[in-house]
Amino acid sequence: MLLFTILTLSLHFRSSLCDPDANNVYLAEKVLNIERLMLIPGTIDFQVATCAYTNLGPPPGESAYAGDQTAAQWVRTVFHDFVTANVTAGTGGLDASVGFESNRTENAGTVFGDINFIDQTIKGFNLFSSVFISTSDFIALGITEAVLSCDPNSPMIQLRAGRIDATAPGPSGVPGPTDGITSQLAAFARAGFTKAEMITAVACGHTIGGVHNGDFSQIVGTQATIGTDDIDTFDDTPFVFDNIGVKNYLAGTLKAGGPLVTTTDALARSDLGIFTSDSNATVTAMATSQTSFENACFPIFEKMINTVPGTNPLLSDPIGPRTFITMDSRLDLTSTGVLTYSGFFGTYGKTAAPSTVTYEYGTVGGGNTGTKHSDSGVLQSNIINSNAGVPGGATKFPFFGNVTYYNFSDPIYTPTTNSLIVEGGIYSEPINLDLFVVPSLSYQSGTSYLVRAAILTSLLSSSVIHLNATLYYPYGVTSYAYNVGYAQFTQPLSYFTKLGSYTIFSGTIITPAPEFSASSKGGGGSHIDVSLGTTLRSVKANAGATPGVNVFIPCSTSDFPNCP
């Protein structure tokens, strides 16, 4: 399966977008990397394929019968993270602080392997962690993927990027099943939600999944209906995002709204109290049709994931996979000093993809170098969990139809080239020819990197004796939480040689030992960029992130200068 390296983006964004974050990442880069992740079959989507599937859990085919359901976990994680917000004070919200709070009673809930549902959710996201996507953006992305898995014919929940992760626990106050309607109304009101919005949020969240006997035996009692973990589902279609639950609640049939309506523990009938707080008016409207249910749920889910701390920079506009996007693009130098630009375009759809992609290189002043054509498209394998054996059988993923990749590779002879323009402008990206890591000359051995970077000789003066290479590497934020953060380590690069119009700088950078290993948290990949002073910085080169095509060539030689 083809994966990707990081798009050649640089300071071209500085004039038009917000300042970069602490890791020198711009909002546009965050958007692009989330969109790419959606179009890489077998990555984040496999964890919720199908809706009944359990990631990091029991063997394929057993998840539906063990009672664990990743899609339901992801929806619940959003709720537990956002609902402690205080919008008046500008605190809390979707900031991944929930990752530090899994040991709180209000966040009780274990899944396969006796791990808390929050910890397992974040550990699953960490498989694809990178400096470009925050844990809180992953949590938001998770609910969009979960709903698409459980309601494949629905539109996608509008997703925005740019959330900043908390580094410590947030306030407590997740409303529980025995808290009573007054307390629940107060919690939602603090988070900026009206009564009707509270009712909608609960009804939408409780259309998949259920209550586990192991966590809430006083609620489930003898009513459990699925599997070895004794889960009492909210309705009879727990693997489908639909309005069956509210319909059955109103009719008093089948599950009649689920255990939080029917439990013998009268104090724990929280859903009943919430639904009847407006005399069932909200859920009655939601029960009218599947469309009315989706139209009620999706704006509420969007409000939940867009509730962020007041200190968080503005989120992006709504995003989703673009019709065409680069999945992998990079600058390089041949042995004779010719500059090349290569990579892959990606597109998707439920109809036949074009045989090739047309593109051109833009130049300074608005010109271009003429139309080019990619290689023929290659349909990507998109059957995930094909042997899962869960209800529904094998499912095609991603959720956007067939994904096709197209290879391109070109020499760049025009020094005024500044952009790549795809299909007449459907997609475009800036290209920075000034400074870049050279893939064909850079090597890796374990967590050590021999970095070679090219800078236009014309940009150098006699006072420039080195460039700086910065490694962005993942680490476990604390010993008890699964949240992964990114630290920085900078090493100077010294003059190496000249090649064509470029001067090559070289140096070795070794990943420092973090206080807590990121690998124990489920993953996390590194990146390296190169800078000249404070005025010029290269794209971040993939140094082992997953998914990703590593820019650095494997080298077993411990003495890096002896690498080819």
pLDDT digit string, tens, across residues 336-391: 999 999 999 999 988 889 999 999 999 999 999 999 999 999 998 766 554 444 44
- C-alpha closest to that of 451 among 340, 553, 535: 553
pLDDT range class, residue 546, cuts 50, 70, 90: confident
pLDDT > 70: what percent of the chain? 90
- For residue 514, the model assigns a pLDDT of 83
Domain boundaries 435-562, CATH class: mainly beta
Place of tokens 């080195």: 466
pLDDT, position 500: 95
**Residue 386 pLDDT:** 47
CATH class of 324-430: mainly beta
Across the range 35-46, mean pLDDT stands at: 87
List the domain boundaries for the chain: 42-305, 324-430, 435-562
pTM of this structure: 0.92
Distance in angstroms (rounded) separating the CA atoms of residues 369 and 494:
35
Cα distance between residue 271 and residue 551, in whole Å = 52
Asked if residue 195 has pLDDT above 60, the reply is yes
Cα 543 to Cα 451: distance, rounded to the nearest angstrom: 10
* Alpha carbon separation from 390 to 73, 121, 146 (Å, rounded): 17, 20, 16
229 or 440, higher pLDDT? 440
3-state secondary structure of 521: helix
In 195-269, alpha helices (H): 195-205, 217-220, 244-251, 259-262
What is the structure's pLDDT at 113?
Answer: 67
Is the per-residue pLDDT at 2 higher than 60?
no
The pLDDT value given to residue 550 = 85
Whole-Å CA distances, 529 to 24, 489, 526, 540: 10, 11, 10, 4
435-562 has the same fold as 324-430: yes
More confident residue, 266 or 60: 266
Letter string b/e over residues 99-129, b meaning 16 or more CB atoms within 10 A of that residue's CB: bbbbebeebbbbbbeebbbbbbbbbbbbbbb
Comparing 139-153, 214-228, 277-291, 486-500, the range with the smallest average pLDDT is 214-228
SS3 string of 306-350?
CCCCCCCCCCCCCECCCCEEEEEEEEEECCCCCEEEEEEEEEEEC
Report d(CA 128, CA 523) in Å as an integer.
7
Beta strand 417-422 pairing with 427-430: antiparallel
What's the pLDDT at 57?
66
Query: According to the model, what pLDDT value does residue 231 have?
Result: 84
CA dist 425 → 201, 368, 417 (Å): 39, 12, 16
Helix runs in 39-169, H state only: 63-66, 70-82, 117-126, 135-150
Q: What is the pLDDT of residue 383?
A: 60
347 by Cβ neighbours in 10 Å (0-12 / 13-18 / 19+) ranks as buried
Q: Which pLDDT does position 394 carry in this prediction?
A: 43
Q: What is the pLDDT of residue 393?
A: 41
Dist CA 300 CA 176 (whole Å): 20
If pLDDT is split at 50, 70 and 90, which confidence band does 3 have? very low
Single-letter amino acid code for the residue at 501: S
pLDDT at residue number 382 = 65
State the pLDDT at residue 134.
96
pLDDT digits (tens, 9 = 90+) for 116-173: 999 999 999 999 999 999 999 999 999 999 999 999 888 899 999 999 999 999 999 9
Alpha-carbon span 432 to 413, nearest angstrom:
14
Sign of CA dihedral 149, 155, 161, 163: negative
The pLDDT value recorded for residue 192 is 98
Mean pLDDT across the chain: 89
- Quickly name the fold that domain 42-305 has: Peroxidase; domain 2 (1.10.420)
Span 262-272, average pLDDT: 95
Q: What is the pLDDT of residues 288-301, one digit of tens each?
A: 999 999 999 999 99
Torsion of the alpha carbons at 197, 78, 206 and 48, rounded to the nearest 10: 140
- The H or E element spanning position 489 is strand 484-499
pLDDT band per the 50, 70, 90 thresholds, residue 227: low
> Which of 202-211, 216-225, 394-403 reaches the highest mean pLDDT?
202-211
For the residues of 134-187, what is the DSSP string, one character each? -HHHHHHHHHHHHHHHHSTTSPPPPB-------SS--------TTS-HHHHHHH
Closest-CA residue to 528 (of 545, 553, 516, 515): 545
Choose between 402 and 161: higher pLDDT.
161
Task: Kindly report, residue by residue over 496-530, the tens digit of the pLDDT.
Answer: 999 999 999 999 999 998 888 888 888 888 999 99
pLDDT of residue 153: 86
Tokens 């090649």 sit on residue = 499
Q: Can you give the pLDDT at residue 385?
A: 55
Q: Is the pLDDT of residue 208 over 90?
A: yes
* Residue range 161-188: mean pLDDT, rounded: 96
Cα within 13 Å of Cα(32), Cβ side: 24
- pLDDT at 61 exceeding the cut of 70: no
On the question of pLDDT at 6 being above 50, the answer is no
Which residue, 145, 140, 73, is CA-closest to 110?
A: 73
